[in-house]
A and B are shown apart, each in its own frame.
Chain A
């Protein structure tokens, strides 16, 4: 299957956020792919608020099934959440469970003015009432496939599809 070029999707995503513009907002990337995207968006859009990052491992709903993620990274929200308009950034939107966890975690830092969601790929398959305000592309993918963002050393982003049953 021919996957779209992540760099082109990124440009279109940045354009959509920019054209919505005017509003002063902060970006929060979700580890790991979402943080790469958020870093690029932060630069591209010239955002003044420092960039936030979230690792939602402590808020996941599958802890009882799979335990703690083996490499949890610290969450860092270097701005006042209370009263701030926030755009959450993730690479792939699928079941919506990661976003649910991220929203829960953000509220433990304060009461934001609003939260919207930007994602490079919306692959459908939602299990929760969650929608993205900014999307690079919507793709239908078979349920046995995992879609993941990769970053080369040069910083170039690309999409990779692999079988769920296989280890990465």
Chain B
């Protein structure tokens, strides 16, 4: 059975943002182009525009997160929407309410948009399938499946510094296995035409058959970082680690931590990215994180503009 992409309506118009997988380049580029205009808004004295005035956006966080929730909240507020933050990990669910009952209740409060973070892969898809057709859902991270707004802000950052996707070598380094960020990045990079995407990780932190995603696999930083234009570091996800995937953080740092020496193998003008929060001294050396090739803080700034773009495009795409 072939289902149409659950993010798109029958005319191919974006209704939900659940994953970068299967989205055409035209939609990804439209989001990036729109975000360019929002960067200007966030640099003004009055960092607010009236676009989503009167709309109610619910931040549904079933898994703790400060940064992502905050950036969505700022983005929604700069669009003049009303934002309601629900930390459900400590609320309804602990009283036994099901996910869809929670969503039904909030829909009855006239929600216009749900931003969903959940430890279970597929949670945002489930909600998107379930809600009224005028409600939009944005996946803010589901299990180890997808984190599309993070990938889009990464694409935005790459385009800002490297202009074009079509001549780049990009390396994604670290815990690919547990990383929803890595999956969303790989789909976005390949859709946008990056000719060479590499993943660098020990065998134990790579998903099986990762090559099928169209990436080149390296287990050695020295080889994998050679001549790359972009280094995308991942956070080592201690909380998702089960069993003996890696011996110790110290040993991981020795082989896969990004130090100035290892970075010197990449192109001289290579940029270094990290989705945060960083484990300094585990996946990245402070000298690199704070160095002049680091674009980690600009990523955070651009993240607000990209999330504003996603929210306003979705809110404007009414059926």
> Which A residues form the contact surface with B (CB < 8 A)?
55, 57-59, 63-64, 66-68, 70-76, 104-105, 107-110
Contact = CB atoms under 8 A, between A and B. Distances in A.
B45 A74 contact: no
B50 A59 contact: yes
A108 B48 contact: yes
A59 B33 CA distance: 17
A49 B36 CA distance: 24
Interface in B7-45: 30, 33-34, 36-37, 39-41, 44-45
Among B45, B48, B50, B315, max chain A CB count under 10 A is at: B50
Given A63-B316, A67-B317, A108-B44, A58 B36 contact: no
6 contacts: A57-B37, A58-B49, A63-B315, A67-B316, A74-B39, A108-B46
A75 B37 contact: yes
Contact of A58 (B30, B37, B39, B317): B37
A73 B318 contact: no
A58 B39 CA distance: 13
Contacts of B313: 67-68
Contact of A104 (B30, B50, B315): B50
Nearest to B317: A67
Given A67-B318, A68-B313, A108 B33 contact: no
Contacts of A108: 44-46, 48-49
Given A108-B45, A109-B44, A68 B312 contact: yes
Contacts of B44: 108-109
A67 to B, nearest CB: 3
A64 B44 CA distance: 25
B51 interface: yes
A63 B318 CA distance: 10
Nearest to B79: A58
Nearest to B39: A74
Nearest to A108: B46
A108 B46 CA distance: 5
B46 A73 contact: no
Nearest to B13: A67
Among A55, A68, A70, A105, max chain B CB count under 10 A is at: A68
Contacts of A71: 33
B288 to A, nearest CB: 31
A59 to B, nearest CB: 6
A46 B316 CA distance: 41
A59 B41 CA distance: 12
A72 B316 contact: no
Interface string B286-319: 0000000000000000000000000011011110
A76 B40 contact: yes
B50 A68 contact: no
Interface string B182-213: 00000000000000000000000000000000
Contacts of B34: 68, 72
Contacts of B312: 58, 68
Interface in B54-69: none
Given A58-B49, A67-B318, 4 more contacts: A58-B41, A67-B315, A75-B40, A108-B45
B45 A68 contact: no
A63 B51 CA distance: 7
A110 B44 CA distance: 9
A108 B313 CA distance: 22
**Top 10 closest pairs, chain A to chain B, by CB:** A67-B316, A108-B46, A68-B316, A58-B49, A74-B37, A72-B37, A74-B40, A58-B51, A68-B312, A72-B34
Contacts of A68: 34, 51, 312-313, 316
B49 to A, nearest CB: 4
Nearest to B49: A58
Contacts of A63: 51, 315-316
